[in-house]
Amino acid sequence: MAIISIVFHSGLGHTKVLAEKIQEGARSVNGNEVSLLEIKGEDVSNGQWKNETITGKLDASDAIIFGCPTYMGSASAVFKAFLESAFYPWLDQRWKEKVAAGFTNSASQSGDKLNTLVDLQVFASQMGMVWIPLGDLPTNNYSEGSIRTVNRLGSFMGVMAQSNADQSFDATPSDGDRLTALRFGAHVAKATQRWIGQAVYQTERHNEEQWKLLEKERIGEATIHSK
């Protein structure tokens, strides 16, 4: 059984929505144990994060999916404190060759979210981990694009989502961002099973025209209207 941990920080609940959708997607693949591990500010003291229970669960994982909001163009301070606490797992190479992946959310369409994903990927590389990118083509880069479709922000390194600053996590991120996270969870779960030798699966591949057509069919419209 593949053990997958989704470790995340969420300031106002929007990033937690993504974490829960990723968990749902990973659980849709048979043969996985999937856990949510929330990084909280209460575990940070004098700038240092410590929670031995969470660290122990990460040590025992086959895959770790990292997630946090993007604040001021980079990962949230609470999550940075968690990342820096991984010095001892790094020193012992305890996370070497585990599967890694990442996700983030911000209020702005861009918000320099790519910088956060780069931070997470560089961290994973420092830890000797194997990074899994998003794997879905963009769908909102043409005139019939929509916020309801998969990978509507056109990310490739990991999941990017956008949540309006004046709306709670009940209303945002968008349905498209939530579906992107759901698919990403399943994608990482399958890749993890392949990596640890648990299962073999057929890689899902679409060309751009096939992908656009599938998205149109999924939302039940002959034409996708931007709104």
Task: Write the DSSP symbol of residue 81.
Answer: H
Beta-carbon count within 10 A of 227 CB: 6
Query: Which CATH number, 3.40.50.360, 3.30.565.10, 3.40.50.2300, 3.40.50.300, labels domain 2-218?
Result: 3.40.50.360
- The model's pLDDT over 94-142, given as tens digits with 9 standing for 90+, comes to 999 999 999 999 999 899 999 999 999 999 999 999 999 999 999 888 8
Average pLDDT over residues 157-169: 92
For residue 212, give the amino acid letter: K
For strand 32-38 and strand 99-106, is the pairing parallel, antiparallel, or unpaired?
unpaired
Residue 22 scores a pLDDT above 80: yes
Q: Mention every residue, 6+ apart, whose C-beta is less than 8 A from residue 212.
A: 139, 142, 144
- The model's pLDDT over 182-226, given as tens digits with 9 standing for 90+, comes to 999 999 999 999 999 988 777 888 888 888 888 888 777 544 444
Contact in structure between 77 and 18 (CB atoms under 8 Å): no
Distance CA 81, CA 111 (A): 21
**Residue spans per domain, the chain:** 2-218
pTM for the whole thing? Answer: 0.91
Residue 92 scores a pLDDT above 80: yes
In 3-state terms, the chain is what percent helix, strand and coil (to 5)?
35, 20, 45
